[in-house]
Structure 1
Amino acid sequence: MAEYSVIDDRAEFEKAAATLAKGTGPVAVDVERASGFRYSQRAYLVQVYRRDAGVFLFDPPAIGDFTALQAAIGEAEWVFHAASQDLPSLRELDLVPARIFDTELASRLLGSDGFGLAAVVEHALGITLAKAHSAADWSTRPLPDPWLEYAALDVLHLVDVRDVLTAELEAAGKTEIAAQEFEATLTRPPKPPREEPWRRLSGLHKVRGARQLAVARELWTERERYAEEVDVSPGRLVPDRSLLAALLAAPRSKQELAGLKEFNGRASRTQLDRWWGAIERGRTTDDLPRERVPSDALPPPRAWADRNPEADLRLKAARPVVEAIAEGLHMPTENLLTPEHLRRVAWQPPAELTADAVGAALVELGARPWQVAHTAQKIVDAFVEGPQTAVEGFPTAS
């Protein structure tokens, strides 16, 4: 077993960056966070591999400034597995790729049997990875040796996998498709913050009345404030179910709250004044939240027959068509076209049902040109003529 160590020293970091700059070819990159343990989604370990340089494991909190690593990689291609998970954390470190290759996404486009890293490495290289620490607390210091080996394996084989998948994409005629998907992943803007994030509280639908919703808001906000202060995942301090139990029990005093057995978690009793203060603020505030919040979310498809029968028929006609096209292209349906995009154009199609109009609507929703080329006309045919006619005669990829 190879021995790995974490670089947390500025001089060692600069030396490693210089070594990586002299390496050859693409650079494999991965990030480990401490989701479920820490408040933030910051990176607690960045793993980098390059041929003729080797594997390096960097400690972001200790290093801080990653300018030297960005400069060392330069315009080289960055290779990820599931890039969308790692790019936000890397951007916080000002590590921004010029271009990427995503082995998970490539495997989806190729219709592989499995998309996890272990499955993809085994398919491409015949190497079996022992994966055991994906849910570990990567903010732990020092990191145990088995965790370091696990982290190194996340990047050690990625460049070789990339080469195999590149050849498979070319053989399948999907090189341009992959290029468009990689670019879309790299340039996709972050989701805007929720206007009222406290409404994500699990079980909130059980809470009735604006006053109780105000209490829910104050409890959730206070938990967020404290979680950020101590850098601990909010759910580890007081789980959602505990906040909900306190809401529904409507305790009349701090002592009654303390005696509520369902109100538990590592900070439920030690921070009792904090939670009771939040409850009192919610009960006395003049700033009452809306009980119903307008939303542009579509109804669930099972409700369409009653809510919008014509849209229901359009979706039922088009969905099997899109599924058939995906099967012909040997890829998951959701990679051919995001299901929400199809639902949107079925619910409210363009005034003029043409391939150009439907294609423009899909592009507006975020579809890529290759997706539009494969689906727009068939969706129009399905909307107008029904599924059987639309399926007939569409080309398939080998």
Structure 2
Amino acid sequence: MVTTLTTPREGIPALLATPSQLRQAERRLAKGSGAIAVDTERAGGIRYNDRAFLLQLRRAGSGTMLIDPEPHREVVGPALEAVLSQATWVLHDAATDLPSLYALGLYPAGLFDTAIAAKLLNITPYRLPELSATLIGYTMHKTHGGEDWSRRPLPKAWRNYAALDVEVLLELAQACQQRLDAAGKSEWAREEFEFIQHKAHPLSPARWEDSKAANSVTKPQELAVVRALWLHRDALAMAMDVAPHRLLPDKAMVAIAKHKPRSVSQLMRLDAFPRDLRNHAGEWLNVANAGIAATPWPKRPKRRGTISTSAWKKRHPESFEQLLAAEEALEEVQAEINVESDALMSRRTLRGVCWSCLHEGLSLDQAIEQTLLRPWQIEQAQPVFRAAGLS
């Protein structure tokens, strides 16, 4: 029988935001013991970046705390790091939370990710409500995940939702660990957790060269327009603290770069240019023209990588058959070791290894070094590489 949690067992926590409240939170956490359940709520689709607007923390003996970092971001790290840096964190899908936590100066001593554990155990679906229901008999409604978490004051219902995200996370981690031990996958999990912990980096400024718009055009003049539009949009978005796409969508930048309108009327006729930006059309047109005038125009960097599967099949049919054999072996091995699809290795990674070995003259070891595969994956993937004739 599955029980749906509607409120936290100790009630809905208050929001802690002042420096004195943060220090009190640190003392409460210090009185507890064991791992600390951690979660964040962000507003990346609304605000300029994906910084955390709420931290949810729970520890045995300490209860649940909701931290508002926005008013005193410079205080959050110093106030909480003494406890948080000495504890293992339990998160669900840690890769989405760690950059915003690292940006606050908060780093864990160790990590346990219940979503990764579920993938290694091949438990689906692995969303928090379903995984909790499967392993410990508790679930919760995910009704406020897409809210504007920068809003203040936070509605009571939102605080209730946020607290429930960590309410049974520690118990869920224990259940996952027991199953990992029983399946002989604890070492695999440890390698995955360490990889996620050290791969994550604090939030960093975006670059126009990495934008979707820049990767949608090829000509130098088009890239010059995209560069100008992106940089202008980014400066405005930062000053206004709004998500850049809300000021000008990437598809609009691409359309302007490709069609190069010469007047506001021509710009307004572009399907990709939002009608509600009519009053700002002249501004964006001037920015685009300034981009064209700014020389030298940028060039698209040559990107090294594997050719498409269709081109591979057409140009190199013999080695393509080796790739197909490897992909078939990958499915068989993943089924045999009972992990979620792509947990062992993504097809993209496998194609890269095969291409490097078969067409770039690399040894298997050299090709593997170019990937981010962990030791357990390399060991388990040996039959896959043999099927491709790589070892």
Asked if these proteins are the same fold (TM beyond 0.5), I'd say: yes
Alpha-carbon offset, residue 261 of structure 1? 7.1
Alpha-carbon offset, residue 293 of structure 1? 3.7
Question: d(CA) in 1 for partners of 2:385 and 2:83?
Answer: 49
8 Å CA contact 2:39, 2:97 repeated in 1: yes
Q: Per the alignment, in what secondary structure is the counterpart of residue 50 of structure 1?
A: strand
Q: CA offsets per residue over residues 127-156 of structure 1, 9 Å max, x none?
A: 121001111111111111111111111111
Corresponding residue for residue 15 of structure 1: 24
Q: CA offsets per residue over residues 66-106 of structure 1, 9 Å max, x none?
A: 22211123422100001111111111001001100000000
Identify which of 230, 234, 242 aligns with 1:232: 242
Q: Per the alignment, in what secondary structure is the counterpart of residue 52 of structure 2?
A: coil
Aligned alpha-carbon RMSD (Å): 2.8
Cα pair distance change 1:30/1:146, threshold 3 Å: same
Aligned pairs for 1:1-398 within 5 A: 1=7, 2-64=11-73, 65=75, 66-188=77-199, 190=201, 196-197=208-209, 200-201=212-213, 204-205=216-217, 209-254=219-264, 257=267, 262-264=272-274, 268-290=277-299, 293-349=301-357, 358-359=364-365, 361-376=367-382, 378-384=383-389
What letter corresponds to residue 44 of structure 1 in structure 2?
A: F
Question: d(CA) in 1 for partners of 2:365 and 2:145?
Answer: 40
Question: d(CA) in 2 for partners of 1:322 and 1:209?
Answer: 39
Question: d(CA) in 2 for partners of 1:152 and 1:127?
Answer: 14
Bigger drift between 128-137 and 330-339 goes to 330-339
Alpha-carbon offset, residue 270 of structure 1? 4.7
8 Å CA contact 1:13, 1:63 repeated in 2: no
TM-score with structure 1 length normalisation? 0.87
Question: d(CA) in 2 for partners of 1:119 and 1:85?
Answer: 19
Cα pair distance change 1:282/1:198, threshold 3 Å: farther
Alpha-carbon offset, residue 294 of structure 1? 1.2
Overall identity of the aligned pairs, in %: 33
8 Å CA contact 2:48, 2:238 repeated in 1: yes
8 Å CA contact 1:198, 1:221 repeated in 2: no
Cα pair distance change 1:226/1:311, threshold 3 Å: farther
Alpha-carbon offset, residue 250 of structure 1? 3.2
8 Å CA contact 1:44, 1:139 repeated in 2: yes
Alpha-carbon offset, residue 175 of structure 1? 0.8
Question: d(CA) in 1 for partners of 2:258 and 2:388?
Answer: 47
Cα pair distance change 1:336/1:209, threshold 3 Å: closer
Q: Per the alignment, in what secondary structure is the counterpart of residue 62 of structure 1?
A: coil
Q: Per the alignment, in what secondary structure is the counterpart of residue 332 of structure 2?
A: helix
Which structure has the higher relative contact order (CA within 8 Å, separation 6+)? 2
Alpha-carbon offset, residue 192 of structure 1? 9.3
Question: d(CA) in 2 for partners of 1:261 and 1:82?
Answer: 37
Bigger drift between 143-152 and 58-67 goes to 58-67
Alpha-carbon offset, residue 279 of structure 1? 1.6
Cα pair distance change 1:16/1:270, threshold 3 Å: farther
What letter corresponds to residue 364 of structure 2 in structure 1?
A: V
Q: Report the number of matched residues.
A: 379
TM-score with structure 2 length normalisation? 0.88
Alpha-carbon offset, residue 6 of structure 1? 1.3
Question: d(CA) in 1 for partners of 2:36 and 2:247?
Answer: 38
Corresponding residue for residue 4 of structure 2: none
Cα pair distance change 1:72/1:382, threshold 3 Å: same
Cα pair distance change 1:199/1:169, threshold 3 Å: closer
